[in-house]
Amino acid sequence: MSEPILQVNGLKRHFNVGRGQVLRAVDGVTFEIRKGETLGLVGESGCGKSTIGRTIIRLYDATAGEVLFKGRNVHQMNRKEMRQFNREMQMIFQDPYASLNPRMMVGDIIGEGLDIHGLASGKERRKRIVSLLETVGLTAEHANRYPYEFSGGQRQRVGIARALAIEPEFIIADEPISALDVSIRAQVVNLMKRLQRERGLTYLFIAHDLAMVKHISDNIGVMYLGSLVEKASSQRLHENPLHPYTEALLSAIPIPDPQVEKERQRIILSGEIPSPISPPSGCRFRTRCPKAMPECALLEPELREVEPNHFVACHLYH
């Protein structure tokens, strides 16, 4: 097995939200990704997925813990190292409407990275931009248009082309398909898979439901309220989910076979997601867990390996 290219150790990112209150957006997350692999990160809105991505690329400082890229601590890099790191890791941002500069033509949005890193100019630059547009299923004519002339799906493709422009090794894709029409989601996933095969890319692929990450992920991490509750290979997580939260997420996915679908038992979680300003004591999921026991309020379960490459944070398995 290859060495991990990214290691996230005990990462925390808290926000001061006034009146002395602290919002624990990411509260002690540990995982690693090997070169050429995809880790899918899933969980409900607000559980901290985007904050993890933004902290990894150092848009945010870490409150605690560390991020190692190829063994180097990202949050301790000097300017020169950061410049190199910014070439090696790119992020596709969640909102295709907010993440493209409305005053720039799409060709220049894609070419900006080439300019910053001095990778191409003149004719060569133009050639690279057209080739990137074609790679993501757009055409040369799109280079001279502005983002408002594009649909959400096309903008997301522009975001992908921009991320690819400087040929990174690692891409954080923050909900790259959630804003897209269901009809074109598979196209974008297939595009990303092809690029991964051709260029040996490594992905952190963020989504809010398991169905979206199943086919692209080697491993999947499930998050709840700032923590990882389960992590396993995509296959194992689907055939043998252990954490009650993962079970509930999986039970929400319709099954294509109508016979099996008829018998699908949906686990409906009661209650709202608690606030990350005052998470429940012990296990954070206990206020909604159908299997909660008295000890769950007392002790926070640690993420432990219960079979090879299958980690779960739940007192039922300890």
Ligand X SMILES: Nc1ncnc2c1ncn2[C@@H]1O[C@H](COP(=O)(O)OP(=O)(O)OP(=O)(O)O)[C@@H](O)[C@H]1O
The continuous run of DSSP H or E covering 133 comes out as helix 122-135
Q: Which is nearer to ligand X, 111 or 246 (CB)?
A: 246
Q: What is the DSSP letter of 317?
A: G
Residues 50-69 that bind Mg ion (CB under 5 A): 50
How many positions of this chain bind ligand SF4 (CB under 6 A)?
14
CA–CA separation, 17 vs 57, rounded Å? 22
Nearer to ligand SF4, 29 or 283 (CB): 283
82 forms part of the interface with ligand X (CB under 6 A): no
**Residue 46 or 274: which CB sits closer to Mg ion?**
46
Give the binding range for ligand X (CB under 6 A) out of 15-23, 105-113, 239-247, 304-312.
Answer: 15-23
Rounded to whole angstroms, how far apart are CA atoms 243 and 72? 33
Query: Is 23 near ligand SF4 (CB under 6 A)?
Result: no
Q: List Cα–Cα distances, 60 to 50, 67, 229, in angstroms.
A: 11, 12, 23
243 lies in the site for ligand X, by CB under 6 A:
no
Q: Does the footprint of Mg ion cover residue 287 (CB under 5 A)?
A: no
42 binds ligand X (CB under 6 A): no
Residue from the set 6, 8, 11, 25 that interacts with ligand X by CB under 6 A: 25
- Our measurement of the distance from residue 271's CA atom to the centroid of its chain's CA atoms, rounded to an integer in Å, reads 26
Which one among 65, 276, 279, 280 touches ligand X, defined by CB under 6 A?
276
Residue 131's DSSP bridge partners are: none
- Is 110 a binding residue for ligand X by CB under 6 A? The answer is no
CB under 6 A: which stretch of 47-55, 66-74, 81-89, 301-309 binds ligand X? 47-55
**Which residues are within 8 A (CB) of 231 and not within 5 positions of it... i.e. 6 or more apart?**
31, 219, 220, 221, 222, 303, 310, 311, 312
CB-nearest residue to Mg ion: 50
Q: Is 23 in the site for ligand X (CB under 6 A)?
A: yes
DSSP 165-220: HT--SEEEEESTTTTS-HHHHHHHHHHHHHHHHHHT-EEEEEESSHHHHTTT-SEE
Contact call for residue 49 and ligand X (CB under 6 A) = yes
Instruction: Return the structure tokens found at 303.
Output: 């993420």
CB 69 within 8 A of CB 57: no
Q: What is the largest CA-CA distance in the chain?
A: 68
Q: Is the backbone of residue 175 left (phi > 0), alpha (psi -120 to 50) or beta?
A: left
Residue 283's binding partner out of ligand SF4, ligand X, Mg ion, none, with CB under 5 to 8 Å set by partner kind: ligand SF4
Q: Which residues pair with 207 in a beta bridge?
A: 42
- Using the minimum distance from each CB to ligand X, give the nearer residue, 12 or 70: 12
Task: Indicate which of ligand X, Mg ion, ligand SF4, none lies near residue 276 (CB less than 5 to 8 Å, by partner kind).
Answer: ligand X
Site for Mg ion in 93-122 (CB under 5 A): 94
Which parts of 227-286 interact with ligand SF4 (CB under 6 A)?
Answer: 243-244, 283, 285-286
Among 180, 141, 173, smallest CA distance to 159 is for 173
Task: Output the smallest distance, CB 69 to Mg ion, in A.
Answer: 21
**Residue ranges binding ligand SF4 (CB under 6 A):** 243-244, 283, 285-286, 289, 291-293, 296, 301, 314-316
**Residue ranges binding ligand X (CB under 6 A):** 15, 17, 23, 25, 43, 45-51, 94, 208, 276
